[in-house]
A and B are shown apart, each in its own frame.
Chain A
Amino acid sequence: MTLLFTVAVFLAVYALIATERVPRVYAALGGAAVVMAIGVVGAHEAFYSEETGIDWNVIFLLLGMMIVVAGLKQTGLFEYLAIWSAKRAKGRPYALLVLLCLLTAAASAVLDNVTTVLLVAPVTILVTDRLGLRPAPFLVAEALASNIGGAATLVGDPPNIIIGSRADLSFNDFLWNLGPIVVIAMVAFLIVSRFLFRSAFTFDAEKVSAVMALDEREAIRNRGALIRGLAVLGLILVAFILQRQLDLAPSVIALLGGGAMMLAVRGETDDYLRQVEWETLVFFMGLFVLVGSLVEVGAIGKLSTAVTDAVAGDPVVANMGILAGSAVLSAIVDNIPYVATMSPLVQELAAGSPELNPGNVLWWSLALGADFGGNATAIGASANVVIIGIAKRNGVPISFWYFTRYGIVVAAVTVALCVPYLWLRYLM
């Protein structure tokens, strides 16, 4: 009875998140409140259990990186790089798209995707406005690039942060295992974009001078702060790479990095705290308690047994199933709640049937399916939703179907590329 009720609460929360009837943080907290009120999860399980409670490693890693980003945003670095890229493209639309997407993907690998598109999208509208180009295709391409680039590292995309913590995978593990396929997917995406967005590539030589007149150096408000901020970012990346040797958890590195960034860039403490997305952090907390309740009542265990029976010990079936299933479901539901739910399931699968998980491939299948699958629709990933919002504010409405008709092609191509990659590297 408790099992059925808990599953029903969970499904109701999922439905509320998917349909956006209420803000997602309300849905997750409401669900967590119900399962705690009926005693499925107690205070100890919710606050202290590594298996069924709030994953503080994820919460503090996100918090630390949000503060790092708040510092970097003040330096004007991204505006500088984006305008510099536009000038290097000399107004040629495809070259502009390639350079802006490469910048977005690279930044998304280190910072979260939403921040990256928040920084790159306004510059893109400025530059396309100068060139007399339609901004919508460029904005859609940037959201897609950010989701592809974000898949490369532990800190690039929230689903990866959850997976990294749950499976105890390091920054280097992600870079080594997902980095190559992200590079391949990015190259494929840029080639496909040449045809996908071809109608947007009109070149007007007379308008190029309007872009060349932009002065990117003016974006840098404080050169000293920029240099210090970049030095701190470099140190954070080195610490992530040497995480095992330093014996520091990723969350500790992010928090130390956040503190160092505040000291380096300076500014008001309040400004940094205002830029932390508290709602997102609380959403994660509610989600973890809710998913923990599914583990507590044995729902995840039963599902894991069912999946194990279904794949009959075949790692190819198991991994391709997770890759494809994750891609489809992440297109429909935000990939964060999806991965939060799937992580304990994959953990049980990996522990119960190690033959399905050579080289942690189950986790890579989950990450790639969720990260790349999020590109398929306008609501699949947070970056997509954010870029549509920016476009609307600037009088460039991007409809659900406009985004989806490009996103679904890119998601299909990139997920399809994962099949031979995973098979050749881990399952042969």
Chain B
Amino acid sequence: MRTRDLAVPEGVVSVDEPLIDAARRMVDDALAGLVIVSSTGKPLAVLPASQVLGLVVPGYVKDDPALAAVVDEASADRLAERLVGLPVQHVLDDARPDLLATIDDDATLLEAAAVMARKHTPVLVVVDDAGQAIGTLSARDVLGRLLGSL
């Protein structure tokens, strides 16, 4: 089995896409993070779900976590509204280029596992011969496949 067989196209998001759609995709497809690519398909950074959560949390709660307790639930439920209308580009500065690691689409799963272990990253960008991202490969998927033979 090659990485292209397990690559998830939904794991890649363009800087031009609405951020709310990207967040929704993380929830629907149970993705721990997305790979942000430029409008030409060049991988730029990894966007972990925790980073999107960080956008939902107001700055004053980050400055003083005790305030999280005083906000009523009805208002807290509306906090994600601040994501509406923002493009993925908006979070590019907060995303993690250091977590970005690519792998060829014809590499084996063991090669993928080795890269993940070396770079301590939970997600790899699977790229074709032209360097375009065709999807992502999560540590969960690779581990699942490797465990499957036991």
Determine if A259 is an interface residue (Cβ-Cβ < 8 Å). Answer: no
Give chain A's interface secondary structure class. helix
Residues of A within 8 A of B (CB): 76, 79, 83, 118-119, 121-123, 125-126, 129-130, 210, 213-216, 218-219, 221, 390, 393-395
Query: B residues near A, CB below 8 A?
Result: 58-64, 66-67, 69-72, 74-75
A393 touching B63 by the CB < 8 A rule?
Answer: yes
Q: Is the CB of B64 within 8 A of A122?
A: yes
Residues of B within 8 A of A213 (CB): 72, 74-75
- Ranked nearest first, the 8 interchain pairs of A and B with the lowest CB-CB distance are A394-B59, A122-B60, A122-B64, A218-B69, A122-B63, A125-B60, A213-B72, A126-B60
The answer for the CA separation of A32 and B33 in the assembled complex, in Å, is 49
| Residues on the A chain within 8 Å of B75, using CB | 130, 210, 213
Hey, which chain B residues are within 8 Å of A214, CB to CB? 70-72
A389 to chain B, nearest CB (A): 10
CA distance A394 to B59 in the complex (A): 5
Cα of A215 to Cα of B75 in the assembled complex, Å? 12
User: Judging by beta carbons under 8 Å apart, are B59 and A123 in contact?
Assistant: no
6 sampled A-B residue pairs with Cβ under 8 A:
A76-B66, A79-B64, A125-B58, A213-B72, A214-B71, A219-B66
Complex interface: chain A residues within 8 A of B59 (CB): 122, 125, 393-395
Cβ–Cβ < 8 Å partners of B58 in chain A: 125-126, 129, 394
CB distance from B75 to the nearest CB of A (A): 7
A354 CB, min distance to chain B CBs, angstroms: 49
* Residues of B contacting A216 in the complex (Cβ-Cβ under 8 angstroms): 70
Q: Which residues of B contact A121 (CB under 8 A)?
A: 60, 63
Which of B62, B66, B74 lies in contact with A79, CB distance below 8 A? B66
Task: Report Cα–Cα, A126/B64, bound state, in Å.
Answer: 11
* A219 B67 Cβ-Cβ under 8 A: yes
CB <8 Å contact, B70 and A219: yes
CA distance in complex: A79, B59 (Å): 15
- Could you tell me the distance between the alpha carbons of A83 and B71 in the complex, rounded to whole angstroms? 11
A6 CB to nearest B CB, Å: 42
> How many pairs, one residue from A and one from B, have CB atoms within 8 Å of each other in the complex?
60
Task: Using CB atoms, name the residue of chain A closest to B63.
Answer: A122
Candidate in A214, A221, A395 with the most chain B CB atoms within 10 angstroms: A214
Chain B nearest CB: distance from A217 CB in Å?
A: 8
Known pairs A210-B75, A213-B75; A83 contacts B70 (CB<8 A): yes
A79 and B63 within 8 A (CB): no
Q: Give the distance to chain A from B129, nearest Cβ to Cβ, in Å.
A: 43
- B135 to chain A: closest CB distance in Å? 34
Q: Knowing A213-B72, A394-B60 touch, does A126 contact B66 (C-beta < 8 A)?
A: no
Asked if residues B63 and A221 are in contact (CB atoms below 8 Å), the reply is no
CB B33 to nearest CB in A, in angstroms, measures 24
Minimum CB–CB distance from B107 to chain A (whole Å) comes to 41
Minimum CB–CB distance for A154 against chain B, Å: 28
Q: In the bound complex, what is the Cα–Cα distance between A396 and B113 (angstroms)?
A: 44
A390-B67 in contact (CB<8A): no
- State in angstroms the CA–CA spacing of A27 and B70 once bound together: 42
Considering the chains assembled together, what is the distance between the CA atoms of A304 and B80 in angstroms?
62
- For A129, the chain B residues whose CB sits under 8 A away are 58, 60
Q: Which residues of A contact B63 (CB under 8 A)?
A: 118, 121-122, 390, 393-394
Given contacts A122-B59, A214-B71, A394-B60, list 13 more A-B pairs with CB under 8 A.
A79-B67, A118-B63, A122-B63, A122-B64, A123-B60, A126-B70, A130-B75, A214-B70, A214-B72, A215-B69, A219-B69, A394-B59, A395-B59
Cα distance, A390 to B59, chains bound together (Å): 9
Expressed in whole angstroms, the minimum distance between the Cβ of A163 and any Cβ of chain B is 31
**Interface core residue of B58, B59, B64, B69 (most chain A CB under 10 Å):** B64
* A210-B75, A213-B75 as given contacts; A79 in contact with B60, CB under 8 Å: no
Residues of B within 8 A of A119 (CB): 64
A123 to B72, CA, bound (A): 14
Cα A113 to Cα B48 in complex, Å, equals 37
In the complex, which residues of chain B have a beta carbon less than 8 angstroms from the beta carbon of A393? 59, 62-63
For the complex, what is the distance from the CA of A213 to the CA of B60, rounded to whole Å? 17
B42 to chain A minimum Cβ distance, whole angstroms, is 29
| Chain A residues within an 8 Å CB radius of B60 | 121-123, 125-126, 129, 394
Q: How far is the CA of A214 from the CA of B66 in the complex (A)?
A: 13
Cα-based distance from A214 to B75 in the complex (angstroms): 10
Q: Given the complex, which residues of B lie within 8 Å of A130, measured CB to CB?
A: 75
Query: Given A394-B59, A394-B60, A395-B59 in contact, is the A122-B72 Cβ separation under 8 Å?
Result: no
